Amino acid sequence: MNLLSRPFENILITTVNDGPFFIDELFQRKFAHPAPDFGHPVICFYRKNSANYIPVCYTSFLQHDEVILVGGAMTDGKAFTQMTGDLAEIIRASGGIYYHVLKFAFDHFKDQCEAFFGHAGDQRAYQVDMNAGFEPTRYQYLIGHFHKPVTLERKNYLIEKINAIGPF
């Protein structure tokens, strides 16, 4: 088991095969359209009890040639109101649940790509992205996480390649 998948009691971060099954309602509430049915969804669940697992955070990881595109990230603030004890505050104090989802996914997918790229227009999400290991590029909103040794030439090539596809 990946230790990053269980950062707190009653919290599980995992990949799922059918993301919309778990998060379509939340996705529609946040983005006003159906959840994507492509990529590799990573979802954080809160176990309220043995019969109730609540999705707290979702992010999609999409293989694009030699990199993975990270997108569609969202956190459900309502889910935090259902947490018992001081769990919600402990999560916030540790960087937030999106931070932990990113750390899990960076580790989980590390052997499947040369780098991760995101498109961060939301300032709060951007700060979490930076804390988790992303770095800004010369392009507004485009961020990269280079988890493997890479030459400056290769890094610039990947940045240019991903910038050319536009927002994702």
For 111-126, letters b (16+ CB in 10 Å) and e give eebebbbbbbeeeebb
Pick the CATH number of 3-164 from 3.30.930.10, 3.40.630.30, 3.30.56.10, 3.40.190.10: 3.40.630.30
For residue 57, give both structure tokens.
């955070």
Q: Quick one: pLDDT at residue 2?
A: 77
So what's the pLDDT on residue 1?
64
pTM over 0.85: yes
Break the chain into its structural domains and give their ranges. 3-164
CB-CB contact of 41 with 23 (8 Å): yes
pLDDT at 168: 87
Contact (CB, 8 A) for 68 and 42: no
- The string of pLDDT tens digits covering residues 140-162 is 999 999 999 999 999 999 999 99
Q: What is the pLDDT of residues 78-112, one digit of tens each?
A: 999 999 999 999 999 999 999 999 999 999 999 99
